[in-house]
Amino acid sequence: MIDVTKLNGSQITINCDLIETVEETPDTVITLTTGKKLIVKESRQEVKNLVKLFKKECISWDS
């Protein structure tokens, strides 16, 4: 799960395993496998980094 910020400033937590695409158009749009689209303040690279950090934490918990 990763925390991202909606354009109105509220934070939401999303399941990063459901992320299908992340686009900058110029707003960052996260499309989930469910078809839902979220517009967030974080850049595409920031979202990518959040997902990578979360995945690393999951792997370290298993070790």
Compute the average pLDDT of residues 4-14. 97
| Residue 21, pLDDT score | 98
Model confidence over 30-54: pLDDT tens digits?
A: 999 999 999 999 999 999 999 999 9
Q: Comparing C-alpha atoms, which of 52, 46, 44 is closest to residue 21?
A: 44
> Which residues are within 8 A (CB) of 3 and not within 5 positions of it... i.e. 6 or more apart?
11, 12, 13, 50
Identify the three-state secondary structure at position 3.
strand
Distance CA 38, CA 6 (A): 8
Q: What is the pTM of this model?
A: 0.89
Q: Which domain holds residue 36?
A: 2-62
| Number of folded domains that form the chain | 1
| Residue 51, pLDDT score | 97
| Residue 28, pLDDT score | 98
Query: Of residues 47 and 62, which shows the higher confidence score?
Result: 47
